[in-house]
Structure 1
Amino acid sequence: MSDPHEIQNRENTVQETLIIPLYARKVCSELYPNLYRDETAVRLINEIDYDFSEAEKKSHSLMQRFGSLEVAMRQNDLAFEVRDYLKSHPNAAVVNLGCGLDSTGRSCDNGSCKIYNLDLPDVIAVRNELLPAGEREENIPCNLNDAEWFSQIDASGGAVFFASGVFYYFLTEQVKALVQRMADAFPGGVLVFDAANRTAVKMIAKTWLKSAKIKDVGAYFAVSDAPKEISAWDSRLQVTSRGYMLGYNDLRDPSVSGFFRFLARVGDNGMRMQIVKIRF
């Protein structure tokens, strides 16, 4: 591994897209150990020389703790779908779209699948330092909207693609075009990702609208009724969705308060926070 201080000298955008989600997964592991455990995040946070004092302060607030629960449930749900696909396609490609420093692919490794981690070149450069590719694993620098990366995926045994917190920052037309190209290239494959309705996406956008100088947030991907709305894109798509807070887990755990379960219902039902699964 290179000098850990190097992570401090990266651009702020890389720090935000890599360090903050990584720290959230570490907090999830501490707050909800019965529901979620990311040993890789815990290890990397201890190894990286980075000032986490601000993140530490925020992590104790009520909404930040609920946000950590959201992260935990989202990662668990996506991992469930990956493992479910591997049951019938043990030699499949497991493809993490917009991977950052996430290790979900490794946590789902069945000993015979192929793992691919895709992200922008500067992100993959950091990942190669901190999480070098292991056996049957590749870290691929690319732009997800450029289909050139398709040729690097060995989908001969099937393919399951997943994206965590990625498509909120894509235009709807970009998501539609990517899904249609993937349907062409990977018949029999599955794509799973988290999504939410327009109200939720507007709330998410508040954190990046000003810096990106974006005015038309309505152009960004949001969905309320995924089976109806996304199926209309292409007749080949078989689309299902489940709430991502309570659709896979009822959260009846001592670490989760009744108030948080209430907020989870609001998220799933009011904000339409969901895991979308598309079969090609």
Structure 2
Amino acid sequence: MGDTTFRPTLGAVEETLLITLYGRAVETRDQNGLLDDPAAVAMVEAIDYDFAKFDGKPSLPRACLRTLTFDHWVRAFLAEHPAGTVVEVGAGLNTRFERVDNGRVRWIDLDLPGAIALRRRFFREDEPRREMLAASVLDTSWMDRAAGLPGPWFFSIEAVLPYLAEDRVRWLFAELTRRFPGSRLATDIATTAMVANQGKHDVVSMMAARFDWACDEPRDVESWAPGVRLAEECTLATLPEELVAGFSPARRERARTAAETVPEKFGSSRLSLFQLRGPEDGAAAPR
């Protein structure tokens, strides 16, 4: 396989996308795995990288549980707004579009330039419904593009915000609320314990990138901008009932085991779904 693989060039934060990719591949190879993602297996086999260092790490199945939760929230959004727009922030090599596409949604895969360059090796844009943009989440150019697509919007921001400084996260919430009233935003939030102990984390400790923003109470974000409301939250041990109800008994047991493998000192990240409400709810109208 050596002649058919290639070594990607990725920045510190971009490299973390390989953790979640490998997690999906591992779960796919397991007949009782949490998800089925043959594309992840193919991508792992095509990339020259030391994935074996992640073998057996509890964070792999936990990352898949997080991904499944975000899938669940996106599907719920599309059930209400089938022709809306989803922006996958930090898309990496995720296959969420392939899992949830309803044939009508508009979709933006957004990530840093190195990650998008890698993504283009495996994925193709499908105009006019799907496109890839290379930019930081803090770059307003992608917001200009998203604003030109049909609303409402869903912002899926997975494994991204903990790497930013809090003032940047605050700005992002305020800006998205101002520009996209009525949208939803899903993100994972690292606790102060996770940030403080990340040097001992089973996979984060292997990466050069480091967490910055921590928050122990997601509802505190509501005070950051008029119109922000915490609509739903869970941990990996308290997944949405509707999601778990669709699991087979074997998958349900695997999910339970995965949720219980994190050392107490790290805590569990909070998976949070925010509603960015419209002008009638007090949010500023878009300009």
TM range (shorter): 0.7 to 0.9
1:50–1:14 distance in 2 versus 1, CA, 3 Å:
farther
Alignment RMSD? 3.1
The answer to whether the 8 A contact 1:14-1:123 is kept is no
Deviations 1:220-268 (A, max 9, x none): 22222212x111112311113112343223888436469826726977x
Instruction: Find the counterpart in structure 2 of residue 275 from structure 1.
Output: 271
The question of 1:238 aligning with 2:229 is answered yes
Distance 1:193 1:73, change over 3 A: same
Structure 1 residue 18: Cα displacement:
3.7
Q: In the aligned structure 2, how far is the partner of 1:49 from the partner of 1:258?
A: 28
Superposed displacement of residue 126, structure 1 = 1.4
State yes or no: 1:142 paired with 2:138: no
Any stretches of 5+ residues in structure 1 without a counterpart? none
SS at match of 1:81: helix
2:161 corresponds to which residue?
167
- The whole-number CA distance in structure 2 between the counterparts of 1:68 and 1:84 is 25
TM-superposed CA distance for 1:201, in Å, is: 2.3
For 2:104, the equivalent position in structure 1 comes to 112
Deviation at 1:205, TM superposition (A): 5.3
Q: CA deviation at 1:80?
A: 0.3
* Residue among 38, 48, 51 paired with 1:50: 48
For 1:4 and 1:139, the matched residues in 2 are separated by 25
Q: Which residue of 1 aligns with 2:18?
A: 19
Distance 1:261 1:39, change over 3 A: closer
Checking the alignment, whether the CA contact within 8 Å between 1:155 and 1:186 is kept in structure 2 is no
Which string of whole-angstrom CA distances, capped at 9 and with x for unpartnered residues, describes residues 49-74 of structure 1?
Answer: 4144xx336413xxx1x222201110
The higher-RCO structure (CA 8 Å, 6+ apart) is 2
Q: Output the amino acid matched with 2:250.
A: P
Range 30-39 or range 232-241, more displaced: 30-39
Counterpart for residue 59 of structure 2: 67
2:265 maps to 1:263: no
Which one-letter code corresponds to 1:74 in the other structure? R
- Partners of 2:64 and 2:206 lie apart in 1 by 25
Q: Identity percentage over the alignment?
A: 22
Q: Which residue of 2 aligns with 1:182?
A: 176
Mapped to 2, the partners of 1:210 and 1:19 lie a distance apart of 10
8 Å CA contact 2:237, 2:256 repeated in 1: no
Task: Give the letter for the 1:95 counterpart.
Answer: V
Is contact 2:8-2:118 (8 Å) kept?
no
Distance 1:265 1:9 in 2: 30
Structure 2 match to 1:38: 37
Q: Return the alpha-carbon distance in structure 2 between the equivalents of residues 10 and 125 of structure 1.
A: 9
For 1:247, which of 239, 252, 260 is the aligned residue? 239
Q: What is the alpha-carbon distance in structure 2 between the residues aligned to residue 86 and residue 73 of structure 1?
A: 20
Query: How many angstroms apart in 2 are the aligned matches of 1:90 and 1:13?
Result: 36
Conservation of the 8 A alpha-carbon contact between 2:86 and 2:105: yes
SS in 2 for 1:129: coil
Q: Distance in 1 between matches of 2:270 and 2:48?
A: 33
Q: CA deviation at 1:208?
A: 6.0
Measure the CA separation in 2 of the matches of 1:12 and 1:93.
28
Amino acid in structure 2 at the alignment position of 1:192: A
Q: Normalising by structure 1, what TM-score?
A: 0.82
Q: Distance in 1 between matches of 2:216 and 2:53?
A: 34
